[in-house]
Amino acid sequence: MDARCRALDVLTLCDPAEKAAAARALFGEARTGSLTLAPQARLSEPHGVPGRPQRPRLVPPDEVPRRSPHTPHGRAALLHAIAHIEFNAINLALDAVWRFEAMPAAYYLDWLQVAAEEALHFTLLREHLRSLGHDYGEFDAHDGLWAMAWKTREDPVARMALVPRTLEARGLDATPLIQDKLRRAEDLRAVEILDVILRDEVGHVAIGNRWYRWLCEREGLDPVAHYGELVRRYQAPRLKPPFNEEARRRAGFSDEELAYLLGDV
């Protein structure tokens, strides 16, 4: 079966554990070359994209309660919020595979790898959440990541610019700060899981940077200038410091791009 069709099938799955397992299996098959790939195929979007469980309840971002790790309940809520991000990230990666045609084969394999790694992150977080007496779906969450994916569904340049290298890249900045709080709360297992996530997310943002620049070159666009235009056009959040400049550099951000984030250009 075609890898892009399979990605769409996995995207429509609603059960989080089933989706995570299927995403990891899909990458395993793609990596061994046992799947076909039809980059030129134009696939139709079925009803129910993305597949979601009935819970968590999705609310506006400002209605999600604050998540302090200094109490057991607050720590569970914080970890639930991160698990929700990782679950959404599985959907985002799978959507990048099926939705955008006429890309190089390496593009599709890159995003299948991202989906598999996000699935691992979600699974690790859910297991830890369960060890604390909670589960995914218990706490309210918001839909900001998928909302931006939907807005950029017709423009792969905008998708690469505003999802992996904007919203997801924010995790590079936030994760060390969250880890400090979790250390103070003596949740060393959560710190270990976030080590894995931060390591992998550097690679995911690098993939977003790589394909954003590739698309800009194909279309004759200046990556830095066009990024600012996309932020305005799609009303993306203007990110604020502090920035994890070391991780962002490892993920492929240039000096000029970091200067833009810092408001120096």
pLDDT confidence bin for 264, thresholds 50/70/90: low
Average pLDDT estimate for 65-69:
78
The token duo for 10 is: 């996995």
What is the model's pLDDT at position 66? 76
Instruction: Output the pTM of the full model.
Output: 0.96
Mean of pLDDT over the chain: 95
What is the model's pLDDT at position 70? 85
Angle, helices 105-131/188-219, rounded to nearest 10 degrees: 160
Angle, helices 16-31/72-99, rounded to nearest 10 degrees: 40
154-208 pLDDT tens trace: 999 999 999 999 999 999 999 999 999 999 999 999 999 999 999 999 999 999 9
Using the predicted structure, report yes or no on whether residue 265 has a pLDDT greater than 60: no
120-167 pLDDT tens trace: 999 999 999 999 999 999 999 999 999 999 999 999 999 999 999 999
| Helix residue spans in the chain (DSSP H) | 3-11, 16-31, 72-99, 105-131, 144-151, 156-162, 170-184, 188-219, 223-233, 245-250, 255-261
**Residue ranges covered by each domain of the chain:** 3-55+70-261
248-263 pLDDT tens trace: 999 999 999 999 888 7
- CB neighbours of residue 66 within 10 Å: 7
Looking up tokens 């080590």, which residue turns up? 195
Report the top-level CATH class of 3-55+70-261: mainly alpha
